[in-house]
């Protein structure tokens, strides 16, 4: 390892589970009987916008009741203290990493508290009651949608993430099942680039065998143990 290793950290729903936010594929992962794969698609938004908006309204309401946990706080301490390159790539659309204090952060699947104009791509805060038919401040179209990456859509910041992985000396995956691409493929990209790879998760992910090191248990214990 070099003196100042470059670190890329990937987080998933498991990092926020102990804050009280449900994961997607664990117990309680169904929402009103729907799988996430059936709700988070452009087709679902077109066919039944009320259903998709209800899902995100409920998620936004839940977010207002929870706080960062020991795992988010430990990652923020690492961000503040680490002298080398570091990028925290979260698949989560909650804002718990920011609230904990992480700064070098990308939300590859979007953000619950952001709204996207489906007509022109303008983004604005989604706070309080924001009916989807609210006119866009940029183009006036009444077509606000959650600023969320649905299945079949391109995740955000892929160039920045790819560059960071190509330069990484250490890749750490925390609390993600490895069921969704392209994030599930990052471990192999990091290994190909020469990084050491580590999984911290409650249970082995789909690609667990691809990691050099694996530690299993709750993120609120494993992450502070690793960071501190
Ligand atoms: C704990 C814990 C505790 C619990 N402590 N751990 C066939 C083959 C390959 C790919 C495809 C395919 N068909 C289609 C695709 C592509 C598709 C895909 O991957 N589909 C799969 C279902 C197969 N992907 C896409 O469409 C993506 N876009 C895309 O590919 O564009 C083209 C492209 C081409 C080339 C390069 C780049 C792109 C877009 C994916 C969008 C994902 N969107 C969602 C919903 C929106 C966000 C939201 O509403 O919140 O994102 S789906 C959902 O899954 C959400 C999550 O971010 C994502 C990942 O879930 P995550 O975080 O892993 O959660 P869980 O619940 O699965 O796992 C939780 C884990 O935590 C578990 O392991 C627990 O053990 C653990 N845990 N408690 C530690 N206390």
The enclosing domain of 132 has a CATH number of: 3.30.1600.10
Question: What pLDDT is stored for residue 211 in this prediction?
Answer: 98
8 and 75, same domain (yes or no): yes
To the question of whether residue 10 is assigned a binding role by annotation, the answer is no
Sorted by sequence, the CB contacts under 8 Å of residue 101 that are 6+ apart come out as 73, 76, 77, 79, 80
Q: Which residues line ligand 1 (CB under 6 A)?
A: 12-14, 17-18, 23-26, 29, 36-37, 40, 91, 93, 109, 148-149, 151-155, 158, 175-177, 179-182, 201-203, 205, 218-219
Select from 148, 175, 205 the last residue of a domain: 148
Per residue in 37-62, pLDDT tens?
Answer: 888 999 999 999 999 999 999 999 99
Per residue in 59-115, pLDDT tens?
Answer: 999 999 999 999 999 999 999 999 999 999 999 999 999 999 999 999 999 999 999
173 and 225, same domain (yes or no): yes
DSSP 134-178: SPPTTT--S-EEEEE--TTSPPTTHHHHHHHHHH-SEEEEES--S
pTM of the model: 0.97
179 and 135, same domain (yes or no): no
211 and 175, same domain (yes or no): yes
pLDDT interval class at 174 (50, 70, 90):
very high
Ligand 1 center–CA 4 separation, angstroms: 31
177 and 208, same domain (yes or no): yes
Cβ-contact 71, 226 below 8 angstroms: no
Domain count of the fold of the chain? 2
ipTM: 0.96
Strands 86-90 and 105-107: parallel
Cβ-contact 22, 29 below 8 angstroms: yes
| Closest listed residue to residue 75, CA positions, set 63, 62, 88, 65 | 88
Average pLDDT over residues 123-141: 91
Instruction: Give the distance from CA 205 to its chain's centroid.
Output: 16
Strands 170-174 and 196-201: parallel
Question: What pLDDT is stored for residue 127 in this prediction?
Answer: 81
Strands 110-117 and 144-148: antiparallel
Question: What pLDDT is stored for residue 185 in this prediction?
Answer: 98
Strands 7-11 and 86-90: parallel
117 and 202, same domain (yes or no): no
Look at the block and give the residue holding tokens 């994030």: 183
77 and 144, same domain (yes or no): no
To the question of whether residue 20 is assigned a binding role by annotation, the answer is yes
165 and 225, same domain (yes or no): yes
Which range has the top average pLDDT, 52-66, 127-141, 161-175? 161-175
Q: Please tell me the distance from the alpha carbon of residue 206 to that of residue 83, in angstroms, as a whole number.
A: 32
**What is the domain extent for residue 194?**
1-21+68-109+155-228
């Amino acid at each position: 390892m070099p003196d100042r290793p470059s670190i890329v950290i990937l987080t998933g729903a498991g990092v926020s589970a102990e804050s009280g936010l449900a994961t997607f594929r664990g117990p309680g992962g169904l929402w009103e009987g729907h799988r996430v794969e059936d709700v988070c698609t452009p087709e679902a938004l077109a066919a039944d916008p009320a259903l998709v908006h209800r899902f995100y309204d409920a998620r936004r309401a839940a977010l207002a009741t929870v706080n960062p946990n020991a795992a988010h706080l430990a990652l923020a301490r690492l961000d503040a203290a680490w002298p080398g390159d570091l990028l925290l790539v979260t698949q989560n659309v909650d804002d718990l990493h920011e609230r904990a204090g992480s700064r070098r952060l990308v939300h590859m699947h979007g953000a619950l508290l952001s709204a996207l104009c489906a007509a022109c791509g303008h983004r604005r805060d989604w706070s309080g009651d924001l009916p989807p038919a609210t006119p866009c401040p940029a183009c006036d179209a009444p077509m606000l949608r959650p600023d969320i990456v649905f299945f079949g859509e391109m995740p955000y910041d892929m160039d920045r993430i790819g560059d960071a992985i190509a330069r990484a000396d250490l890749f750490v995956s925390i609390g993600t099942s490895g069921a969704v691409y392209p994030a599930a493929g990052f471990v192999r990209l990091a290994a190909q680039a020469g990084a050491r790879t580590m999984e911290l998760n409650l249970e082995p992910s789909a690609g667990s065998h691809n990691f050099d090191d694996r530690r299993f248990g709750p993120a609120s214990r494993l992450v502070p143990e690793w960071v501190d």
